[in-house]
Structure 1
Amino acid sequence: MFGSIYVGLSGLNAYSRGLQQVSNNVTNLNSQGFKASTVSFSDLFGTQGNGGLSYSAGEGQAGRGVKNGETQINLAQGELRQTDRDLDLAIDGSGFMMLMRGDEVAYTRTGSFEVDKDGYIVLSGTEYRLATLDASGHPVSLSVDGSRSSAPQATTKVTFSDNLSSSATSFGVSDIKVIDKNGGEHVWKVKFDKDTTATGQWIVTVTDDKAATIGTQTLKFVGGSVDPTTTKLSFSDAISGLTVDFDVSGVTSFSAGDVSTLRASAVDGYKLGTITSVTVNADGKLEIGYSNAQKKQIGAVAIADFRDPQALKQRSGGLFTDSGTAQRSLLTSADSRVGKIVSRRLEASNVDLSKEFGDLILIQRGFQASSQIISVSNDMIQQLFGIRGQG
């Protein structure tokens, strides 16, 4: 009978811990990146102690109660929820982002990141830096400080398109903005005047914003298309140091009255740019956007794949650690085994509330039944004590 009390106590102990586990799952219903853990129980046989509760079991004893089973982390992916921050990152797949803080390493499925004062991309509220892979495949933390500006590039080509009416006598394209090698902007105007001395021939004159002539070239058309000898017109400006080629190969010259649709459809070159955004692109690489519309990739985010993810230990803040038994491989988003890293997404908790409430009922009934065993055993012992003096 005393053994039955210990059996009942093992049930109270196990179900109390199970309730704590379910409570932790339920209360983290809205914790981003949280992974629920499973609740399980296992029977006990033999005479070894269990959490301080023990008794001597004789030969043929049926058993000595229950204990908590091995905890398993449910690593199923939670819902990926849309956000408006470029550095809200999540993994669409089975991998983990790698984080570094000195010699310490942690992993996460999702997180809100930011650029710290030293230019490193860190998990918000922590000093953990997002790891990227270098050319040798080794994890490193990168700073954006070395890429805070995008050097200017001089204009070398202006592309024209559409129709220059053969019935018109002149046409102008104004406000063509070209950039010199130092990032300075210059406004050019281009005027097309029909050459009355030759059929299908136009005089092209380029002037700057001070009305100074930069240069003059001849444009020829044959049957409405540009003569192959004049598909490229070159203009040089000694003041700005620019030499710009006008690509007119796509221009036509058909009759359209006085209406011409000729336009500068593309101008290369750009000014000095400053950082406007830091994000992760579709290829899983950190990408910096600049005010001059240029982009620069500075490294692929390191994604960890674990052969035994159950060996990971779940920590506060959606973090996981590995003691070395999970057998890690570092890959990039291009590898289908780990899934893709996505920007402007945060992974929600994967807690299944209906399952947790089902477990809660079973735990409650188990605890209730175990307490009843203790109560009945106690009543039987009281009865045994009451035998004294009877007869």
Structure 2
Amino acid sequence: MAFSAMYTGASGIKAHSLLLQQTGSNIANVNTTAYKSGRTFLENLHSQDATGTISGVVSGGGSNTAGQIGMGVKLSSTRIDFKEGSYEPTSSSTDLAIAGKGFFRVAEQSSPISHYTRAGNFRFDKNGLLTDAHKNVLQGYAYDSDGKLGSTSTNIALPLKEEKNASGETIMVVKSDPKATSSVTLKTNLDSGTVDNSQDTKSPFFSLLSQWDGTKNPPLAADKYAYNSSLQVYDKNGNKVNLTVYYDKVTPSESGPTDKKYWEYIVTVSPENDGRSSTATTSAAGLLMTGTLTFSGDGNLLNQTAYSLSSNSSGNAKDLNNWSLANFDSEGKPTFSATITGEKGQGDAQQISIDLGVKSASSSWNTTGGTAADVGSNASGLPKMNDGKIDALSTTDYKGSSSTISRSQDGFGEGYLQNVAVNGDGVLSAIYSNGLSQDLYKINMYNFNSEFGLRREGSNYFGETSESGAAIEGIAKKEGMGAIMENNLETSNVDLAKEFATMILTQRGFQANSKMITTSDQLINITLGVKK
């Protein structure tokens, strides 16, 4: 029996060694990113029948069953504790943590093998790949150029492009290509108390056009208009120029409705930035559009006219006969044509719409083939937009200082990557120096039918097994997946106080089992001495 007792003690030492090994691993990884602590469970070994002893159970016939004596202990199972750790803020936007269920998936670059992890300390490498510390690449769904999200998981990589640097060397950069302006919105308040600065008795509604002289600097004297407002517009090459709208009050030469007020405007660029051949080196250089605004007596916008230089015009570009009613875009805003010349050369002709606060629902005028010369000096000769719709925020003619209420345009120049951002839905966006933000990827997330069946692979990785089931692919905040937190890393979920308590209990168990062996050894020696 002493030999059996020694075996039982040995099994206890072995089992408690394994307990201590797991506790030691937990303590060693107390500062490991996203480490999940483990628990080890023991179970008793088989028991040996001891003939003639009483086990505590009496048979129906009155005789006693044989007693049982335990033969020791063994390791039953281990379990990973997937309780979330706390979150540690960082300074890098590519440090990611998962708040809730789920795992990231990273793929090896040289093989089809993938791993699952909650450690989100990712960085972009020299090839633009978003990798972990072992150069494995984070997976996600890519957005195409139209902003449509793909359905196939792929490596997350920055869209690198080749470019020549100042030394003529080819380098790889992440940049946003320029986009030509196609729409301008400009809302202003024009002071109703101002005077008519530019006057033309024959064509009072186009006095600014007649005063403009693209061969002079400035093309329009400061005392010839009441107010102006500018914003930058772009061509497809990234050239940016100031688009300036000048306003002046109009006093019709002939009697007209007394309950209405009128302003004229011209849309211009600096003459040196005007690349149209029809206006080159002429007094019309820089003139892109002219028109009028009609207001009610209380200063609210009623209608607008807009004229652009006819494409088939010849001769004097400032001749009002060469200025025709403008075309409309799909939203009913009048358009003009511009060709921009700048640091990056001359671009192609581009159509730009302008929104001053009124649009034509039918994209039409109440007359056809009209020119600016047809208006004359009477306000009743002004065309109107058919089905004009006034915006809630529009140009006004209220008493007070003239001011710009809002202005915007949809173009932009080229921009270089400044940073990336990841939102709670896992959308990774590139932020460029031109102010543009572009969605690049939505980060994949994965879950399992039984996360306790996952296999530890080292390096903060887990691998799927038949016990865990196949990985279930999804995205953040959907179907039970957690949210993604940028500028954060999940810390270890090890509870040091608990681990130290476990370590003390394991030590006591180990000591007691070792005492069992030494005691059994003494009994064997005594038995051998009796024989002698």
Q: TM-score range by the shorter chain?
A: 0.7 to 0.9
1:131 aligns with 2:139: yes
Matches within 5 A, 1:10-159: 10-45=11-46, 61-101=68-108, 102-123=111-132, 125-133=133-141, 137-145=151-159, 148-159=174-185
Q: Secondary structure at the match of 1:62?
A: strand
Q: CA deviation at 1:97?
A: 0.7
Q: Which moved more, 1:232-241 or 1:244-253?
A: 232-241
**Aligned with 1:77: secondary structure?**
coil
Q: Which runs of 5+ in 2 are unaligned?
A: 49-65, 143-148, 162-173, 196-224, 273-284, 307-332, 342-348, 358-393
Q: Is the 8 A contact 2:231 2:408 kept in 1?
A: no
Larger deviation: 88-97 or 229-238? 229-238
In structure 2, how many angstroms separate the alpha carbons of the residues matched to 1:157 and 1:220? 22
> Does 2:468 correspond to 1:326?
yes
Deviations 1:274-326 (A, max 9, x none): 22223433322332222222233333222111112122122333111124542
- Which shows bigger deviation, 344-353 or 181-190? 181-190
Aligned 8 A contact 1:226 1:248 in 2: no
Q: Which residue of 2 aligns with 1:206?
A: 267
The structure with the largest alpha-carbon Rg is: 2
* Counterparts of 1:275 and 1:164, CA distance in 2: 40
Between 1:139-148 and 1:344-353, the stretch displaced more is 139-148
Q: Does 1:253 align with 2:397?
A: yes
Contact 1:2 1:377 in 2 (8 A): yes
Cα shift at 1:252: 1.6
Q: Which moved more, 1:2-11 or 1:245-254?
A: 245-254
Letter in 2 for 1:318: N
User: Hey, what does 2:250 align to over in structure 1?
Assistant: 195
Q: Tell me the matched-pair count.
A: 375
Aligned CA distance change for structure 1 residues 143 and 239 (closer, same or farther; 3 Å)? closer
Deviation at 1:95, TM superposition (A): 0.8
Cα distance in 2 for partners of 1:237, 1:388 equals: 117
Q: Deviations over 1:42-61 (max 9, x none)?
A: 111158xxxxxxxxxxx855
Mark the CA change 1:207 to 1:140 in structure 2 (over 3 Å): closer, same or farther. Answer: closer
Question: Over residues 316-351 of structure 1, what are the superposed CA-to-partner deviations in whole Å (9 max), with x where a residue is unaligned?
Answer: 331111245422211112423222223222111011
The CA distance in 2 between the partners of 1:111 and 1:239, in whole Å, is 47
Moved more, 81-90 or 203-212: 203-212
Q: Quote the offset at 1:167 in angstroms.
A: 0.7
- Alpha-carbon distance change, 239 to 133 in structure 1, aligned in 2, over 3 angstroms: closer
- CA distance in 1 between counterparts of 2:236 and 2:152 reads 37
Aligned to 1:186: 241
1:164 paired with 2:308, answer no
What do residues 194-220 of structure 1 show as CA deviations (whole Å, max 9, x unaligned)?
112275211212332348442322122
Alpha-carbon distance in 2 for matches of 1:29, 1:18: 17
Give the superposed CA RMSD. Answer: 2.5
Identify unmatched segments of 5+ residues in structure 1: 48-58
Give 3-state SS (helix, strand or coil) of 1:144's partner: coil
Q: Tell me the equivalent position of 1:315.
A: 457
Q: Are the aligned partners of 2:266 and 2:290 in contact in 1 as well (CA < 8 Å)?
A: yes
Instruction: Say whether the 8 Å CA contact 1:153–1:181 is kept in structure 2.
Output: yes
8 Å CA contact 2:107, 2:138 repeated in 1? yes
Q: Structure 2 matches for 1:215-294, cutoff 5 A?
A: 215-222=289-296, 223-230=298-305, 234-239=335-340, 241-249=349-357, 250-256=394-400, 259-294=401-436
Deviation at 1:6, TM superposition (A): 1.3
TM-score by length of 2: 0.65
Are the structure 2 counterparts of residues 12 and 165 from structure 1 closer, same or farther at C-alpha, using a change threshold of 3 Å?
A: same
CA shift for structure 1 position 387: 2.9
**Helix, strand or coil at the partner of 1:315:** strand
Is 1:375 aligned with 2:513? no
- Decide whether the 8 Å contact of 1:158 with 1:264 is kept in 2: no
Structure 1, residues 166-196: CA drift from partner, whole Å, max 9, x if none? 0123533344111112211011222211112
Once the two structures are TM-superposed, the CA of residue 162 in structure 1 deviates from its matched residue by: 4.6
User: Normalising by the residue count of structure 1, what TM-score does the alignment of the two structures yield?
Assistant: 0.87
Residue type of the partner of 1:24? S
Summarize the Cα distance change of 1:171–1:136 in structure 2 as closer, same or farther, 3 Å threshold. closer
* Percent of residue pairs bearing the same amino acid type: 31
Whole-Å Cα distance in 1 between the matches of residues 507 and 83 of structure 2?
A: 26
